[in-house]
Structures are given as structure tokens and as C-alpha cells.
Chain A
Amino acid sequence: MDQMRISLFVSALMAMTLSPACTQNNVIDEIEPANLLAEPEEAPAPNDEPLGEYEPLELESESIGLLPVTEETKEEMRRSFQNQGNQTELEDNSQSTEINRTYLKPVASEKPEMTEPVEEFTKTTATASPTGVLTTDEVIEEILESEKKKKPDSFETGVIPQTFGDTTGQAYLGHRSVVDRYAGWGWIKKEDSVWKRAQWAVIEEIPRKMPIPGRFLGNPNQDDNYQYKLYGEWANYKAYEPNYDVYVPVFQLTGFELIGKRSKPGGLRPPRGTSMSGRTSAFSGGGARNNPFSR
């Protein structure tokens, strides 16, 4: 019996010391302990404040696409990197490596009920991967190389064509509206409808094949307050607008006709606040659903 007690004691001791550690390398301030028993909250009430910019990712603010690949360019990019001390040295990766990957089965619904393990296709390939953790120079080389390979956008002529793409079928009227820190193209309505019934929309383009009109100018924001006849259809899905946490309708563009510059229709305001709250959004009168997951 004593031996059993000893083994139980040892077991408990080891459970305490060998349990998976919740290692945290960073200084953490726990600001608000959550009530674990509480039901998940709904999103906070809508407000007019944007969620905050989130441009975390790039090296510097201006595109490098036009810069020549010179040592000066590289040096400029090197200088833009911070915290070099954190960088891990390049590892020796000359050996072959086995790739272990899985493709998931497509799921039919947003709440998949899976009863069997995912189907796995394991591919084993002998490769000599050049990198583990890339060095700063390697990242710069990658960027420069990809910029060199990128095909030029030949449609950027500086002039918006009078017509482009397929201009048959149902026509809509579109008013291009550039809103600072707000995703989307502008207002779209049926030709015979009034502007107050227009919907704020994200346009789904086909990159380099079916661009929005402004891309012909190089910078797509330069056609603010231009109007067009738009051809295409509304998609059966929405796009998430990240600055104001809203879901907006998507228009799949197939063609357009240029009308010209017009004054902005009155009374139109892009949706604000969260679309998850159940409150009526600015465009709900146009048939948009507040909760995109209710269908």
C-alpha cells in the first residue's frame, strides 16, 4: 500500500512538473480575466470609429516596383529592416527533406460535421530547400526577384475606355466613391432605381483581365465621383470590410461603359459599425442582410 502511495505521489509530482508548459517568451499584461463560464459575447455595439489601421507587413511605404535592382536599392531596403539582432542565422539546409502535406476535403457548410478523419495524401519529395529562416538579404532578393517577374499591367494606359468587357445584359448604374480607410468601390443601383436605394459594394475584379475602370489610370482611386454603366451581377456572398467590421455586397463585374464625372448623390453613407450586431445597417434597405451567416 505504501508503495502504491509512493507511486501515486510520484505520479502527481511528475504531472505537476512535466505537464506541457505554457511558455511565454513575452511580457504579458493580463488586463481583463475572462469569465470562462460566460457565454460568448456578441460583438460590441456599432460605432463610428474605425477599428484601427492594420498595415503591419511591409518594408516601407512606397512600392519598389519601379526601382531598379541596384546595390543602392538593396541597401535602402536593408536599412528599412529593424531588429536585426533577432534574426536567426541561415541554417545548413543542404540535405533532402521529406514533405508531409495534407489536402482537406472541401466542406459543404460553415459548420461542418465531420465524422471521419480527413483524407490524407502524403507526398514525399526529395528536395534541397535553400532556406530555413531567410536572412534579410534573402528576403530582399525574393522581393526584387518577384517584382522583376511580375508582368506589366498593359491596361494602365492613363485613359479610361468608353466601353470595356462584356456590355450585354442587365445594366446597373455605378457611382465611384473613394472613402478614406474604407474598402469598397462605390454605390451601385439598378438603372431605373433611385440613388437612395443604391448599395455600397465591393467589386470583384479579375486581375488584369476585368479591372475596375480606375485601374486604367494606374491608381484606381483617381476616378472618384465618376459614374459608369456597370454590367455583371451580384454575388451570393459578401466581403468583409476590415476598417468598420461590416459585411458588404459583392458585385461581379463583367463590363462597363463610361458616363463621366457627376456630383455625388446625396444621402448616401457607407455602412458603419458591425454587421454582426443585428442592427440595421445603412444599406439594409437595399436588400442586404445584416448577418451574413444567417442564411
Chain B
Amino acid sequence: MTRVFFCLWVVLSTHSLAIAGEHIYISGGPALRYFEKHKTASHDRFWGNFIQAAVARFQEWKTELDSADQFTWLIYRPSYISRGEEQGEDLITKTENWVAQTGAKIVWFDSRGELINYLNNGQDRDTLKIERIEYFGHSNKRNWMFDYSNRFDAAVLETDSLHMNQLKEINRRIFAKGAYCKSWGCHSGEEYSKMWRRATGVPLIGAIGKTDYSNASVPVISTPGGKWTK
């Protein structure tokens, strides 16, 4: 009987080690009001759209976070610096204080290369697999754009987006079995999700239609007839 309990203890211990994983948020940055203020459909009047929505979303799943898990929040830094300069505020510190409420570890990134570098190599991926990736930011059906209308008016620096044709740069082996991936950006379910799955082997839930961040909560699909898909 003792041996049974011993085996059970070993199994439990091993299992608890095995399920430790990393939960990752990716937040793009806000546009500059300089570029957007005159537009009819004006983006990002609130600088913290992609933080607010993500914090609200965290309230929904935080009970799934195991004590052994890591929660890492990757945030595109240049946009928060330039928007902060525009507003006369230190949005880096403001963001850090805000994100700290979730207990997440903040990792600032400046380019797609740095983002992928972190995903592939930022942790020992043999022992710490990615259990979750959720993206909050600008997107169209083929691209995640971390920097929309910040450096250029209504456009993005080529190195500051993750196009679906670049998804193969992500190592397929970094994901845990059953990993949960979701893009809260617009239109991701129309093409991006399919390419994500082909590149990584993991489904990505994405929107068919636009998503709306303006409710100060978790984004919702705003296009009539739109839906989440993967």
C-alpha cells in the first residue's frame, strides 16, 4: 500500500511539473492622434485600448493560471513611447503599473524579430511550453500590426508587424498540447487563423468581421453576422 501511495505521489509530482506552462499576451501599440485626429473613423483616442481589453480578458481566465505557470505580457514599446511624448505622459511606467495588477511579467519588444525571438527562445522551451497566446492589437485578415498609424499615417513599418507569411518563423515545438491561441484583432479568422494553424500546428481563434475595443472591456465582434472561428 505504501508503494501505491509513493507511486501516486511521484505521478502527482511529475504531473504538476509537466503542466507548468507559459501564458502569453501580446499587445500592439496605439496610433498617434497626430495622424488620426482628422479622420472620420479615428483610431485609438484612448491610448490604453490594447491594455485595458487584455486586463479585462484576464479576469475571465485567471483562475486557470496554475501556481507553477508563468504569465508573460509582450508589449510593443515604440508606440507607447511616441504616444506618451504626444500626450506628455510616461505611458511606459503607466502601462507597467497597470499590467502589474495582473501579476504578469512585462516584456517590451521593439520589432517582430524580437517578438519571435522571445517566443522561440525566451524561455527553455523544452521545459516551459506555451499554453496560451492572446493578441490584442490592430490587424487585418493577413497581418498583426503592432504599430499602425504611429510611425506612418495609416500604415506600418514592415518590421513591426507579423504577416501570416512570416508565421513559419515561429517554432512549432514551443506550444503545449492543447494550447489556446486567440487573436482579438479584426478579421483574423478570415485568413490568419488558417495560416497560424498550418505554421504552428495550433488553432487560432479569430474574428470574421471587425472587433470593437470601445466598450472598455473584452473586445466584441461588431460586424453584423460576424463570428469567432478557427
Cβ contacts under 8 Å, A238 to chain B: 158
- What distance in Å separates the Cβ of B42 from its nearest Cβ neighbour in chain A? 5
Given A52-B187, A103-B108, check contact A146 B100 (CB 8 Å): no
* Chain A residues at the B interface, C-beta cutoff of 8 Å: 3-4, 6-7, 10-11, 14-15, 18-32, 34-36, 38-44, 51-59, 61-65, 80-84, 86-88, 91, 93, 97-107, 109-112, 114-115, 117-118, 125, 127, 129, 131-136, 138-139, 142-143, 146-147, 149-151, 153, 183-184, 202-205, 207-208, 218-221, 237-243, 245, 247-248, 250, 274, 276, 292-293
Size of chain B's interface in residues, with CB distance under 8 A? 126
Given A21-B178, A132-B101, check contact A245 B46 (CB 8 Å): no
Contact in complex: A28, B122 (CB < 8 Å): no
Interface residues of B in 94-127 (CB under 8 A from A): 96-102, 104-114, 116-118, 120-124
Cβ contacts under 8 Å, A208 to chain B: 34
Given A11-B15, A104-B108, A245-B142, check contact A146 B87 (CB 8 Å): yes
Contact in complex: B56, A107 (CB < 8 Å): no
Contact in complex: B38, A111 (CB < 8 Å): no
- What distance in Å separates the Cβ of A56 from its nearest Cβ neighbour in chain B? 5
* Chain B residues at the A interface, C-beta cutoff of 8 Å: 3-4, 7-8, 10-12, 14-15, 19, 21, 32-35, 37-49, 52, 55-56, 59-61, 64, 82, 86-89, 96-102, 104-114, 116-118, 120-124, 131, 138-143, 145, 148, 151-159, 161, 163-169, 176-180, 185-187, 190-191, 194-195, 197-199, 201, 203, 205, 210-220, 222, 227-230
Dominant SS among interface residues on chain B: mixed
Chain B residue nearest to A149 (CB atoms) is B88
- What distance in Å separates the Cβ of A224 from its nearest Cβ neighbour in chain B? 14
Contact in complex: A81, B198 (CB < 8 Å): no
Given A41-B198, A112-B113, A237-B158, check contact A7 B11 (CB 8 Å): yes
Given A36-B198, A183-B155, A245-B140, check contact A10 B38 (CB 8 Å): no
Chain A residue nearest to B6 (CB atoms) is A7
Given A54-B139, A242-B145, check contact A135 B34 (CB 8 Å): no
